Amino acid sequence: MSKNLLQLQNISKSYDGQLILDDLSLDIHENSFVTFLGPSGCGKTTTLRIIGGFEKPDQGRVLFDGADITDLPANKRQLNTVFQKYALFPHMSIADNIAFGLRIKNKPESYIKDKIKYALKLVNLDGFEKRSIDSLSGGQQQRIAIARAIVNEPRLLLLDEPLGALDLKLRQEMQYELIRLKNELGITFIYVTHDQEEALTMSDYVVVMNQGYIQQAGSPEQIYNEPENAFVADFIGDSNIIGGVMLEDYVVRICGKTFKCVDAGFGTNKPVDVVIRPEDVEIIEDDDPKAILHGEMTHIIFKGEIYEMECRSEDGFEWLIHSTEMHEPGKKVGLYVKPSNIQIMNKPESEDEEALGVEE
């Protein structure tokens, strides 16, 4: 297992009396692609700025390769940052933009020339040395910003929503480019986004944040398939989140019906939240003995690869369902969910617990 490159220990930060980060701790492994994911104002960019040395925490420590860098200036850290607006210099050529950091470090011109060629080849922009920044597309400018960062040979690259200004197709292309660069360079990436698809597509490790707390951290598969609280379940993809009662281990009651599940340890007759993903709800014939719930299809939207449908079960709950098979509104159907596709979570007992994502 790779070692920890970066450790955040009990980081807190406030602006104008408003708490942005509250006792946040996190370990980031070397050569990983980590994404901070969450809504606007959740603290993800502030965390990135503290790592980069652009902000100092009110409390806590930042350790890099075991050394305390909390008070180290940004230009002394073994990392670089790519911002959403790229921060390129329009009066400089592409070559001069890429060389900027190297010249500040007084590197020899022969070394700088070799590094510029290497970086441009890496981002698939060979021969662009003399071009102006204004002549580039948004995607090309983003690549130059990355090239400028990687010529400094950082051990850690911070990316603050760098794809936010690009159109959908270009954004998807750049996602693959970033994964390729990370694998080729062996650099640790920390990426900030509010786009769930980006986080799930690109990352080895996803850190879901809300209200200054880490709600859940894990692999994309863990975050999606095993959300630890309702916020994560609702924020990562679409979900059916239903109040239920855990009757006993492996048995939960939702929508007035008893379902088998694979969860245990929640107690007996305890209120819980239940998460079922739309693609895990199976539509079957209304008279199928396997049907646990019965309902009527109410809405349908064609989304290319799937149909997004809604079904009102007999208790009145509106189920969101994704399927490759179309079922017209008005059709009477049965619904079935495999036990392994039912995720049980504790209900938060207070607003503070809800913000924290507390699990008992």
Please tell me the predicted confidence (pLDDT) of residue 165.
Answer: 66
Mean pLDDT of all residues in 125-134: 87
Mean pLDDT of all residues in 148-152: 84
CA 140 from chain center: how many Å?
24
Tokens of 196: 């769930």
* Selected residue with higher pLDDT from 228 and 153: 228
Mean pLDDT of all residues in 105-115: 88
Please tell me the predicted confidence (pLDDT) of residue 138.
Answer: 79
Q: How many CB atoms lie under 10 A from the CB of residue 169?
A: 9
Give the separation between CA 104 and CA 89, rounded to whole angstroms: 15
- 355: pLDDT strictly greater than 60: no
Nearest to 39 by CA among 173, 203, 215: 215
* Residue carrying structure tokens 């104008």: 16
Please tell me the predicted confidence (pLDDT) of residue 48.
Answer: 94
Please tell me the predicted confidence (pLDDT) of residue 349.
Answer: 64
- 77: pLDDT strictly greater than 80: yes
What would the pLDDT profile of 274-285 be if each residue is shown by its tens digit? Answer: 999 999 999 999
Please answer whether residues 209 and 44 qualify as being in contact, where contact means their C-beta atoms are separated by less than 8 angstroms: yes
Please tell me the predicted confidence (pLDDT) of residue 123.
Answer: 82
Tokens of 33: 């692609």
Please answer whether residues 242 and 276 qualify as being in contact, where contact means their C-beta atoms are separated by less than 8 angstroms: yes
Give the separation between CA 11 and CA 90, rounded to whole angstroms: 37
Please answer whether residues 294 and 333 qualify as being in contact, where contact means their C-beta atoms are separated by less than 8 angstroms: yes
What would the pLDDT profile of 201-225 be if each residue is shown by its tens digit? Answer: 889 999 999 999 999 999 999 999 8
Mean pLDDT of all residues in 331-339: 97
Please answer whether residues 152 and 187 qualify as being in contact, where contact means their C-beta atoms are separated by less than 8 angstroms: no
Q: Which CATH class is domain 4-225?
A: alpha beta
Please tell me the predicted confidence (pLDDT) of residue 121.
Answer: 86
Cα separations (Å) of 195 from 199, 217, 298?
A: 7, 16, 29
Please answer whether residues 238 and 320 qualify as being in contact, where contact means their C-beta atoms are separated by less than 8 angstroms: yes
Residue 358 banded pLDDT, cuts 50, 70, 90: very low
Lowest mean pLDDT among 60-74, 103-117, 169-183: 169-183
- 357: pLDDT strictly greater than 90: no
Please tell me the predicted confidence (pLDDT) of residue 275.
Answer: 94
Please answer whether residues 316 and 254 qualify as being in contact, where contact means their C-beta atoms are separated by less than 8 angstroms: no
Residues 78-113 as b or e (16 or more Cβ within 10 Å = b):
ebbbbbbebebeeeeebbbbbbbbbeeeeeeeeebe
Please tell me the predicted confidence (pLDDT) of residue 1.
Answer: 53
- The DSSP output letter for 345 is E
Residue 84 banded pLDDT, cuts 50, 70, 90: low
Give the separation between CA 96 and CA 98, rounded to whole angstroms: 5
Please tell me the predicted confidence (pLDDT) of residue 137.
Answer: 82
Please tell me the predicted confidence (pLDDT) of residue 173.
Answer: 78
- 359: pLDDT strictly greater than 50: no
Give the separation between CA 66 and CA 216, rounded to whole angstroms: 24
Please tell me the predicted confidence (pLDDT) of residue 220.
Answer: 94
- Residue spans per domain, the chain: 4-225, 238-356
What would the pLDDT profile of 18-35 be if each residue is shown by its tens digit? Answer: 999 999 999 999 999 999
CATH 2.40.50.140 fits 238-356, yes or no: yes
pTM: 0.82
Domains 4-225 and 238-356 share a fold: no
Q: Considering the chain, what percentage of its residues have pLDDT values greater than 70?
A: 95
Please tell me the predicted confidence (pLDDT) of residue 133.
Answer: 86
What would the pLDDT profile of 38-58 be if each residue is shown by its tens digit? Answer: 998 899 999 999 999 999 999
Starting at the edge strand found earlier in the chain, the sheet holding 282-285 runs 282-285, 332-336, 293-302, 307-313, 318-323
